[in-house]
Structure 1
Amino acid sequence: MSVMTAADHRIPNDQAALLVTPGAYADGRIHETYRWLRKNEPLGMATVEGVDPFWVVTRHADILEISRQNDLFHNGDRAPTLVSQAADKKVREMMGGSPHLLRTLIHMDAPDHPKYRALTQGWFMPQNLRRLEDQIRVIARAAVEKMAAKVGPDGVGRCDFVQEVALHFPLHVIMSIMGVPPEDEPRMLKLTQELFGAADPELARDADTPVAERDFDFSVVIDFSNYFRTLSEAKRAAPTDDLASLIANSRIDGQPISDLEAMSYYIIVATAGHDTTSSSTAGAMWALAENPAELAKVKKDLSLIPALVDESIRWTTPVKTFMRTATEDVRFADRDIKKGDWLMLCYASGNRDEAVFEDPGQFHADRKPNKHLAFGYGAHLCLGQHLAKMEMRILWEELLPRLSELELDGVPAMSEAVFVNGPKRLPVRFRMA
């Protein structure tokens, strides 16, 4: 465990508390904390009751540098997401001392990480994704038609863009690629929301559990594993041209992939493969509804859609935080970091760093350059980044030419989570051309 020192760089208790408060990520208070930290304590130490102490990395340059140094800052030595001491203890008891309930790519370091990443990397490369463009466009058009069907006789449409469009479009795309039957998509969506929304009283499976104990829901992981174990057995018996078949029949160092690692692989693809994309898509729609001039700008020049996509990813930053563990004593950014120290990389802070982004607190659909960190950096750069951007580009290519008016039609809401969060409600009023 940590042997952290440097008491002079302790973050004030009120600011530190917000870093571990799921509601602060939903109501925007976290951005105020990030602004204060970037200015006053860009690499400070948070000490919060019930959580091991951790360094808080808020500047773009520092997040980049730590992400580059994968040998010095590991993913797998401790939990790569923020967990309470109680949850960490429970996982270690269940997993024979390991801090990981799952063993996905985000839980691995070299030499295992590059081996497991290579299993599916080819599927997510741009040259392979190009063959999926027509299929994705069909799915996007269906999503737009679903939205258009909400237009009444008066020419006005109303819908919850999250619940009726943003959640289902990328879900259908990734499940089609994986080989999950369409009838199982609602189950996959519910399990994903329960996994990432364990601290959100509206999304959690067990909302009666105290927030401090809801880092994640063990029963959700079990349900995911049971589903994918059955799917995996079917894909081993009769492989098809999909990701589930590839994972089910994978071999590492000449040996079949283990059950834990196979289930972990399925779960990360099945959750991260759509949840973050739906959040960025909804984040863009929310921003465009609040900024008519930005909507008009992109509608006038559809060549700005790729820039809109990048800005929506920066603006929303669905993956808010990841944790790293120092593998040795190091002097970094004028701080003495000790071997075993835990560090929180605050991507949403890096993506609003005034030293990198002009007017970072505003949504600019034509922002260039846009060196956002939402996909991470280095060896752990998001495997699905090209697919995510391609899906969003295609959806906007299909929707924006038909969207003539757009405004909010109620109060939107973000999910409550420290790790991954995004819009969970987005009521909009619109007209279609």
Structure 2
Amino acid sequence: MSLLDEKAEVLPIPDFSDAATYADEVPHSAFAAVRERPGLHWIPTKLANENGGIWAVTRFSDIVEIEKDPDAFTSTKGPAFPLTNMGPDNPAANMIMCTDPPRHNYLRRAAAKGFAPRIVSNFEPWIREVVTEVIDGVEGKSEFDYIDEFARTIPAYVVARVLGSPREDREWMIRVVTEHFEAEQDVDGLDDGASGFDSAVPIIEQLTDYARKMQQQKLAEPENDMFTELARCVERGEINQDEYLQWMWVMMAAGYETTHTMIAQSMRMYLQDPEAAEAIDSAVKSGQTERMVAELLRYITPVYQMARTATRDLTFAGEQIRRNDVMVLYYVAANRDPAVFSEPDRFNPSRSETDSLAFGSGVHRCIGYHLAKLELQILWEELHKRGVKLELAGEPKRGWSNYINLLTELPVRRA
């Protein structure tokens, strides 16, 4: 660690653990500097760990290696920073993102069939209906906030329909899930080492209470949706009650936030970067929207990082890793790794390297990534089909997070 500390004095690197680091922009140049160094980058912090700091893992190959070795690097202590150093009694302990194989495998099987690519492709007609409804909703508005009208609304409507939530619950879901992610970043007043999950416990309880209510309704009046399917899994003994509640909480929260961020940030990029706008327009017109969306996901990286915790003392990437060391896997850095991507800082929908870490890798690769990609693809297709032309009507406002690439305001007007 002493050598790394000496290098840090020569090359000033911001504190990647601090949400303030991301307040103005993603520090891509700093991530590049760290990625080019041998070994890993140590970040001293008392937050959400018991060993006095965290390891920043920034290279694509290192992240893939960690994610495929749950015996050495576990998810059971928390899935992302600062949600790490989680105790066994934490209400998130049965959440799928906090499990390792073999337990992870049966939890994933319970819902995976509902998110297979061939199943998600059947969602296309009604996702297109949702997108069309949202576009129709701003038809008479000359100025509006793209976050409110599009980025929050579309994923909330889609997730509600996949889960089987009533239409009238959509606004509640948006509000509570937003509060959930805000609470996870509220680390003021936490004890040294405490997990950010501790701040979110009251919000988690609201989401699980809702899942319990929906479980009772769907068992009484079953429908073709995820609440019904998972409730039946409990009845058949395939998962237990707490696992069901945790699964539904994850689907409500994670299924919304990633897509919300991608819809917001992709439009911001389109409006601020003429070269990117031209590339997006060209890709949609030529029928290459799916490839373009894959590049948007790489380039934007909606989730900055996830995390694992070392289960034992070991050597990794030339560093001596201690038991319970937190390894923060910075997808946002790995997705611009020149060892994997040519001209990594250039947005290029025609690139051949399309398999990024935007949704992770290994057993924890996001189960809903096909759905998220389809939502974004359909949105850009419909915006072009309807001839919707927008321009900025004010400064975009970034969110406060070291976890999600948040955008909270995007004022636009008709061009």
| TM-score of the superposed pair, with normalisation by structure 1 | 0.85
User: What are the Cα deviations for residues 102-154 of structure 1, in whole angstroms up to 9, with x where unaligned?
Assistant: 4221101011101000011111011112222111111111122223332xxxx
Residue of structure 2 equivalent to 1:170: 155
CA distance in 2, matches of 1:385, 1:419: 18
The equivalent of 1:280 in structure 2 is 262
1:403/1:430 contact within 8 Å kept: no
What does the per-residue CA deviation read over 1:257-289, in whole Å, with 9 as the maximum and x for residues that have no partner?
333211111110011112101211211111111
User: Does structure 1 residue 26 correspond to structure 2 residue 34?
Assistant: no
Name the counterpart of 1:3: none
The reply on whether 1:140 has 2:143 as its aligned counterpart is: no
Summarize the alignment of residues 235-250 of structure 1 with structure 2, pairs less than 5 Å apart. 235-250=218-233
Opposite residue 54 of structure 1, the aligned amino acid is: I
Q: Which runs of 4+ in 1 moved over 6 A?
A: 13-17, 211-214
Task: State the 1:24 CA deviation.
Answer: 1.8
Percent of aligned pairs sharing the same letter: 28
The answer to whether the 8 Å contact 1:147/1:165 transfers is: no
- State the SS of the aligned residue for 1:80: coil
The answer for the alignment partner of 1:303 in structure 2 is 287
When structure 1 is superposed on structure 2, of 324-333 and 392-401 the one drifting more is 324-333
SS of equivalent residue, structure 2 residue 315 = strand
State yes or no: 1:321 paired with 2:305.
yes
1:7-406 equivalences in 2 (<5 Å): 7-10=2-5, 12=8, 18-28=15-25, 30-40=27-37, 43-52=40-49, 53-76=53-76, 78-83=77-82, 92=87, 97-98=88-89, 101-150=92-141, 157-198=142-183, 215=196, 216-251=199-234, 255=237, 257-300=239-282, 301-403=285-387, 405-406=389-390
Helix, strand or coil for the counterpart of 1:407? Answer: strand
Shift in Å, 1:211? 8.7
Q: Which letter maps to 1:247?
A: L
Separation in 2, partners of 1:408, 1:22: 26
Cα gap change, 1:49/1:337 in structure 2, threshold over 3 Å: closer, same or farther?
Answer: closer
- Other structure's SS at 2:306 match: strand
CA gap of 1:327–1:420, structure 2 versus 1, over 3 A, is: same
Aligned-partner SS, 2:144 = strand
Gaps of 5+ in 1: 1-5, 151-156
3-state DSSP of counterpart to 2:132: helix
Shift of 1:80: 2.1
Q: Which amino acid aligns with 2:153?
A: H
RMSD: 2.7
Q: CA deviation at 1:418?
A: 1.9
**Paired AA for residue 243 in structure 1:** M
For 1:249 and 1:161, the matched residues in 2 are separated by: 38
Give the whole-Å Cα distance in 2 for the aligned partners of 1:338 and 1:31.
Answer: 28
Q: Sort the Cα spacing of 1:99 and 1:44 in 2 relative to 1 into closer, same or farther, 3 A.
A: farther
- In structure 2, the CA distance between the partners of 1:355 and 1:171, relative to structure 1 (3 Å rule), is same
Q: Which moved more, 1:330-339 or 1:303-312?
A: 330-339
Secondary structure (helix, strand or coil) at the match of 1:249 reads: helix
Paired residue secondary structure (2:183): coil
- Contact 1:279–1:316 under 8 Å retained in 2: no
TM-score (norm 2): 0.88
- Are the equivalent residues in 1 in contact too, given 2:15–2:43 (CA < 8 A)? no
What is the distance in 1 between the residues matched to 2:340 and 2:260? 26
Count residues with an aligned counterpart.
404
Deviation, 1:361, is: 2.8
Is the Cα contact below 8 Å between 2:54 and 2:327 reproduced in 1? yes
Q: Partners in 2 of 1:217 and 1:320 — Cα distance?
A: 19
Could you tell me how far apart the structure 1 residues matched to 2:61 and 2:219 are? 45
Distance of aligned partners of 1:256 and 1:199 in 2 relative to their CA distance in 1, 3 Å threshold: closer
| Contact residue 244 and residue 266 of structure 1 kept, 8 A | yes
1:311–1:386: structure 2 CA closer, same or farther, 3 Å change rule?
Answer: same
Shift of 1:199: 6.0
Deviations 1:301-344 (A, max 9, x none): 34121122112212221221111122333332222223332211
Against the structure 1 CA distance between its residues 228 and 359, is the aligned structure 2 distance closer, same or farther, given a 3 Å change threshold? same
| Structure 2 unaligned blocks of 5 or more | none
* Amino acid in structure 1 at the alignment position of 2:132: R
**Do the aligned residues in 1 keep the contact of 2:74 with 2:309 (CA within 8 Å)?**
yes
- 3-state DSSP class of the match of 1:322? strand
Separation in 2, partners of 1:224, 1:365: 37
- Give the CA deviation at 1:15: 6.5
Q: Tell me: CA distance 1:307–1:12, structure 2 relative to 1, closer, same or farther (3 Å).
A: same
Contact kept? 2:280, 2:349, Cα under 8 Å: yes
CA shift, 1:422, in A, is: 2.1
Shift of 1:290: 1.5
SS at match of 2:15: helix
Q: Is the 8 A contact 1:9 1:45 kept in 2?
A: yes
- Aligned residue identity for 1:19: F
